[in-house]
Amino acid sequence: MKIVIGCDHVGFLLKEPIKEFLIKKGYDVIDKGTYNTERVDYPTYGNLVAKAIIKNEADLGLLFCGTGVGISISANRNKGIRAVVCSEPYSAKLSREHNNSNILSLGSRVVGLDLAKLIVETWLEASFEGGRHQKRVNQIDEKL
Ligand code: RB5
């Protein structure tokens, strides 16, 4: 599975160890930056990751900023993107099963590394249930 990742300068602190975690687990990772802690603007990276998913360069995406909020809002402005901010695994799992989320966004100022790993792992291992949920997911984009 191909995972595209991106972050701002605050999210960088969480993106790096999670990237290593993903590679060790055998995922194919595309890193869209940023690549250091020099100040940048989160919409740039939210959009880069969103566009990579829309173009099918990757299956799923991970985003990181201070809270996970700004960068997920930016990603969600792209049609076909369903980015979720999660700070616990239950919502992460359900966001895949019911909402077919295609980007998980994490806050480096909100979750510690061990919790972030658990959230990421849970999210990646869950899958969309389809059925009654498909119609609702379709409606998200129909209304744009
Ligand atoms: C950057 O200071 C911070 O605003 C950003 O990382 C993020 O938390 C925005 O939502």
pLDDT, tens digit, 9 for 90 and up, residues 125-143? 999 999 999 999 999 988 6
How many of the other CB atoms lie within 10 Å of CB of 86?
Answer: 25
Residue of 71, 76, 85, 105 to mutate, ligand 1, most atoms within 8 A of C-beta: 71
Yes or no: say if 34 and 4 are a contact pair by the CB < 8 Å rule. no
Which residues line the pocket of ligand 1, CB cutoff 6 A? 8, 10, 42, 65-67, 69-70
Q: How many other β-carbons are positioned within 10 Å of the β-carbon of residue 64?
A: 29
Using the mean position of ligand 1's atoms as its centre, give its distance from the Cα of residue 61 in Å: 18
Report whether 28 contacts 2 (CB < 8 A): yes
Catalytic center residues? 65, 98
Task: List pLDDT tens digits, range 103-122.
Answer: 999 999 999 999 999 999 99
The domains of the chain, with CATH numbers, are 2-142 (3.40.1400.10)
Q: Residue 75 Cα, ligand 1 centroid: separation in angstroms?
A: 14
Q: Which residues pair with 83 in a beta bridge?
A: 103
Question: Rounded CA gap, 114 and 130, in Å?
Answer: 30
Separation of CA 10 and ligand 1 centre (Å):
7
Span 48-88, pLDDT tens digits: 999 999 999 999 999 999 999 999 999 999 999 999 999 99
